[in-house]
Amino acid sequence: MAHTTCGYRNASDRMVILRCIGPEQFFLERVVFPFELLSFECPPNSEVEIWSHSLGGPEMVESFPSRELVIEEQAPEATAASLDTIASLGIAEAKPHQPTPWAAAS
């Protein structure tokens, strides 16, 4: 499943906790300090919750869909067919993938 890159800036003067809950049991929880920008990846259709701590205990400050925080969406991975199309246009040569020498197993 492709993930989207999101960003959240804590504009408050208090530390908050960002919780991102998504499909297929996706869960992300991070502490975000005041004025910090947190970048994270999550599946589309995830829900983001911002929590703070007060004298009464934890309290949810706001909740919104992750699409409101999207910075960029991941492009689908290149396929052999798309590489052949690029090669046919003369932009690049069609070559089978060869491992780099330093990545080859000894």
Cα separation, 60 vs 62, in Å, equals: 6
- pLDDT at position 8: 97
pLDDT at 33 over 70: yes
Looking up tokens 């947190």 gives 38
Q: Which one, of 104, 38, 41, 95, lies nearest residue 50 by Cα?
A: 38
Beta-sheet strand order (sheet of 47-54): 26-32, 16-22, 47-54, 57-65
- In this prediction, residue 42 has a pLDDT band, given cuts at 50, 70 and 90, of very high
On whether residue 79 sits in a domain, the answer given is: no
- What's the structural domain count of the chain? 1
On whether residue 98 sits in a domain, the answer given is: no
Task: Give the pTM.
Answer: 0.66
On whether residue 83 sits in a domain, the answer given is: no
- In this prediction, residue 12 has a pLDDT band, given cuts at 50, 70 and 90, of very high
On whether residue 85 sits in a domain, the answer given is: no
Q: Could you list the residue range(s) of the whole structural domain that residue 11 is in? A: 4-73
On whether residue 105 sits in a domain, the answer given is: no
pLDDT at 94 over 70: no
On whether residue 46 sits in a domain, the answer given is: yes
Per DSSP (E only), the strands in 35-99 are 37-42, 47-54, 57-65, 70-73
